[in-house]
Amino acid sequence: MKTAAPYLYKLLLLNLCFTVGWGLGTPAMTSLDLSSKEERGFSLPFRLSNNKNKDSDKKSKDDGSSSNQEETAPVIEHALDQIDRAKQVQNLIGKQDMTSNRNCEDCERELRSIRYMQCNRQNDYLENELEKLGQGHTLFAQLATAKIERESIIKPACMRMSMEAKFSASSKVFRQCSPEGTGSAAFRPCISENYFKLINNSFDLVSSCMKDIMAPEASDETQKLDVRAVYALINVESGFHVNAMSGTGAGGIGQFTTPAIQDVNQNELRNIRISLENNPNPQCGRLSMEFLDSLEPIRPQKAHSCDRISLSNGNPIKNMIYTYAYLKGVKKDLSTMIFENRNYKNKFKLSEFDLNKVKRALMVWSHNTGPAGTWTPAKTLLNTFYRNRPVTDADEFINQLQQYMQKFPASANKSPARRKETSRYFPEITSTLTNIEKNVGGGSCVNF
């Protein structure tokens, strides 16, 4: 849960490499610098005026919404909406194969095109452990060795791009854990076939089991869009690298901090275990038994930060479960505080699809702001701008929330740096996701 570093330019360049590299059947590996952080000022998406003056408000609303929809696309955008835009981009870069990926018709080709790295002495430090843990009949072994499924919820090509794009090969924001549990700085791990299989297959299994827990009664499409949001979030947090560790100690796939781990251990883990074990898919029960029952929970103290990242402690699977568990708790709190709260729920005059879009945006944002970090700006927005009018445009609401994160943050996010970071978090996630989706074959990263 740390700053989402923008790496859109890198993605664009990476797109070129992938297009050329994959097209020629040769590996296209990059080691670009991610430090090019573009400073962007925020223009107000609307002009706030006396809420009794509805005419002027409506005008300002109309003025604002159009310009800002261009600026940030929400995570939950319907996949079909994306396909046409992606096709246009593909046309621009001269790619002629314009197969829609709704049925994953070109997934087989994409799978064949995925390239893995040749490891070297600097980055092969996970390989021995992977090989060792990949033997036997454990679920970990299965995940590390099973072939990549072309029908996985998130397309493997998107997963592969995430692992390549977030950090350069020479980045040293990684930790290598000793058997004693102490960590030392390391290069980005080698994206070998085994490592990629472990990450890709783990995320697919954890997602397929946890999506029912996140949204039990929701449609398959809604659940998959939830997974897409989690994919986008992890992509920005860790680039799906098991041992990513920030300077502040946030660690692992979901970049967990001490309070977040405490929260999951105290409030979520018990119910997650029960739900997984009751899931009709026996693999979900195994997730619980082999990663939550047989292993100790992640210890929240910084001194035990290897718990968040080490393979021997069940990562990345355990950290992925924690990520979903944390978001589940956040979602529940948001319901109680806003979406099911008698004072606010009637303010949302949105379709179910758009309401889910807003909920998902707040959920993703909370991963960075903390559980309470979205309540204050969201409620302030509802009690001021929407005091006498309903929320009828999900995208506009999300864009306005970005401004309110700056102006009315929760106490924990009041420092200038945190105001900036929290307000930009969600827009950066959506921009990065949009770019990945444009750059990986077109269409959504989700196999619907």
Binding site for another protein (CB under 8 A): 44, 48-50, 257-259, 262-263, 266, 336-337, 341, 343, 370-372, 375-376, 379-380, 383-384, 387, 403, 406-412, 416, 419
* Residue with token string 């949204």: 215
Q: How far is the CB of 420 from another protein (least distance, A)?
A: 11
Q: How far is the CB of 214 from another protein (least distance, A)?
A: 21
Task: Name every residue whose Cβ is closer than 8 Å to that of residue 368 and which is 6 or more positions away in sequence.
Answer: 1, 2, 4, 421, 422, 425
Distance CA 213, CA 172 (A): 35
Nearer to another protein, 314 or 371 (CB): 371
Residue 438 near residue 413 (C-beta atoms within 8 A): no
According to DSSP, the residues that pair with 186 across neighbouring strands are 174
Nearer to another protein, 314 or 370 (CB): 370
Nearer to another protein, 182 or 343 (CB): 343
- Nearest CA-CA partner of 406 in 391, 394, 424, 393: 424
Q: At 10, list the tokens.
A: 């890198």
Nearer to another protein, 314 or 373 (CB): 373
Helix (H) or strand (E) holding 81: helix 79-92
Q: How far is the CB of 334 from another protein (least distance, A)?
A: 11
Q: How far is the CB of 323 from another protein (least distance, A)?
A: 17
Distance CA 378, CA 405 (A): 8
| Residue 184, SS3 per DSSP | strand
Nearer to another protein, 78 or 414 (CB): 414
Q: How far is the CB of 68 from another protein (least distance, A)?
A: 14
Nearer to another protein, 194 or 374 (CB): 374
According to DSSP, the residues that pair with 391 across neighbouring strands are 348
Q: How far is the CB of 175 from another protein (least distance, A)?
A: 21
Q: How far is the CB of 301 from another protein (least distance, A)?
A: 12
Q: What is the DSSP string of 361-387?
A: HHHHHHHHH-TTTTHHHHHHHHHTTTT
Give me the sign of the Cα torsion angle 157, 71, 418, 392.
negative
Distance CA 295, CA 307 (A): 10
Give me the sign of the Cα torsion angle 160, 199, 206, 298.
negative
- Nearest CA-CA partner of 445 in 71, 12, 107: 107
Q: Which amino acid is it at 350? A: L
Nearer to another protein, 160 or 367 (CB): 367
Q: How far is the CB of 398 from another protein (least distance, A)?
A: 16
Nearer to another protein, 140 or 408 (CB): 408
